Copies of this chain bind each other. A is one copy, B any other.
Amino acid sequence: MPKYTNLNIISYFLFDVHHTESLLKYDYFNAFDKDAIQILLSAVKDFSDKELFPYIKEMDEKPSYFIDGKIMVHPQFETILKQASQLDLVKASLRFEDGGLQLPISVFHSLYYIMEAANNQVTGYLGLTLGAANLILAFGSRQLKDTYASKMLDMTWGGTMCLTEPQAGSSLSDVKTQAIKVDHTDYYLIKGQKIFISAGNHQFADNFVHLVLARIKGAPFGTKGVSLFVVPNKRPTDDGLEDNHARVIGEFEKMGQRGYCTTHLSFGDEPDCRGWLVGEENKGLAYMFLLMNEARIATGRMGAGIASAAYYASLKYAKERPQGRLLNNSGKKDVSHEQTLIINHPDIKRMLLLQRAVVEGSLSLIIQTAHYLDELKVCEKQDKEKYELLLELLTPIVKTYPAEQGLRAVSNGLQILGGYGFCSDFILQQYYRDIRIISIYEGTTGIQSLDLLGRKVTIKNGKTLHYLMEELSLTITEATHYQEIKPYANQLKEQSDLIKTVLAKLIPKALAGDFENYLADANSFMDLLSTIVIGWQWLKIATTACKNGNATQLENNLIQTMAYFYTYEMAKLDGLVKILLNDKSITVKANAQTFD
């Protein structure tokens, strides 16, 4: 059986560490019990084993392509999309009234994590259709919902999110796709180009529904003048579907995720490309960002999934490959002995522990974040602010940590294979290529870091961090009861105070209006806070593992991995603090002439 993730660990994280069962007592989630969720996890694992994992390499070697105005993806997608629809994988987490099943988001993300570990070229096609439908369901008119959403939820039609333009990547203020209201109709005429549109068209959907950011003629400058439109490839009329003059005009050839198409769309090259406004004028970016938060969690999850697959691929190799010998106590190797398996070398174990620590720490944070989303649906009114602010704070982290550290994990996985890791016959080199996009999708690490330090930390005078530290305190207090992990609880207590030290130094810069220096090392702040957050997750996992007294092998392994994280990964925090406390403004003062 292919091994790319461990269902026991996912289940342990959901039910033991993050108490998913506690959600199921609420009316909102009562369509599911624990058994139903376990069955669902197994069903998706089974689907991934059979339909996803066996095709990952082939999708890379025979990538999607653009021909005759069409995008062609790997033929296996026909089966995949059909079965994904049968498993309700697009609509599962939506509300009953929207046609969904009200599955906890924490479980939903676990299902996608499994699929992404099996084959990271696949879930984008589902996720973007869901994201686009979600926008319509959240902000669209009754008519838009009726016309588009249900067809997208059962995957007859696909969906995309159209933000980026050639001159406007991270800077959505500069979107210039145009929308002109047509008098006496309910639509606008859309004209403009969008690039890097993931999952934009393929041969296995009857129609595509694009959610497009555009500027209504005369709208204000910047993000305040951006509106959101539904622009289908084919628009429904009384007689069926008619061409809506939205075209795919190319595909971007990429280093990785080559089975997952990235398209160039053009709207209105022919005269009659119609778009329907979603919600109110000029509020498009606010709508988009509500969904963007989910997309950012999903992106982090995809990174963790790829890193999981790489971990198991390198583990398999390490358990099978003989090479070298252990040292005897005179520091020599006895060459008359058989070679040892490389998994017995400490440096190989280091690379495996590093991968586990990153992969499972990330997974736990993904479930944690999703759990807050679930809580938001059922919690008392007075708890709402807490969960909302925790989500604001954690979203850039859950996007970034698995991207940045996941890449490092995958690269360590490749290293375990030595020269074979670089060869196309082995899958590690593909994961190394695939995961490189994760720190770019949905806002680069630079953008996430600015968001974290520039916006999230300062909301309501730092209430976001206040709530986070409360959560850490709860975990620390609980962990302190167990001798085995008490030193780690103390370490987290001490190291989480570093955040205060850093902000005490930085905040005055912001207050003095020196935002450039305030934000110059946002990247290091991201590294600092995200490592502490993952440390919190590991302590939570280890505390759970200690609770039952007689730890299982799985629990012992988790405790060992926690110790690795605290000893090796958290060692870097003092260095990050040094960077954040320095006053030299080196990067601010540098200019174009510095680089020759």
Contact = CB atoms under 8 A, between A and B. Distances in A.
A47 interface: no
A586 B571 contact: no
A584 interface: yes
A171 B339 contact: yes
Nearest to A454: B331
A206 interface: no
A425 B278 CA distance: 35
B516 A327 contact: yes
Given A170-B323, A519-B327, A557-B595, A415 B432 contact: no
Query: Is chain A's interface secondary structure helix, strand, loop, or mixed overall?
Result: helix
Contacts of A575: 571-575
Interface stretch (A15-23, A68-76, A284-292, A346-354): A346-354
A356 interface: yes
A62 interface: no
A437 B432 CA distance: 12
Contacts of A574: 574-575, 578
26 contacts: A167-B339, A173-B325, A223-B335, A255-B423, A256-B422, A319-B592, A327-B519, A329-B513, A344-B592, A346-B519, A411-B436, A415-B444, A418-B440, A418-B444, A429-B436, A553-B593, A557-B593, A557-B594, A560-B590, A567-B584, A568-B586, A571-B579, A572-B572, A572-B575, A574-B578, A575-B575
A252 B348 CA distance: 24
Contacts of A590: 349, 352-353, 560
B335 A253 contact: no
B349 A594 contact: yes
A117 to B, nearest CB: 15
A225 B398 CA distance: 54
Contact of A346 (B170, B418, B520): B520
Contacts of A407: 411
Contacts of A322: 167
Interface residues of A, number: 112
Given A221-B336, A513-B330, A571 B578 contact: yes
B424 A254 contact: yes
A227 interface: no
A9 to B, nearest CB: 8
Interface string A425-452: 1000100110011011000111001100
A11 interface: no
Nearest to A430: B255
Contacts of A445: 415
Given A253-B423, A421-B440, A173 B335 contact: yes
A468 B433 CA distance: 39
A56 to B, nearest CB: 15
Contacts of A595: 315, 318-319, 343, 352, 356, 557
Contacts of A326: 516
Nearest to A428: B255
Given A196-B419, A331-B454, A421-B440, 18 more contacts: A6-B596, A170-B323, A170-B418, A221-B335, A222-B335, A223-B335, A255-B422, A255-B424, A327-B515, A343-B595, A344-B591, A346-B588, A347-B522, A350-B587, A422-B437, A429-B436, A432-B436, A557-B594
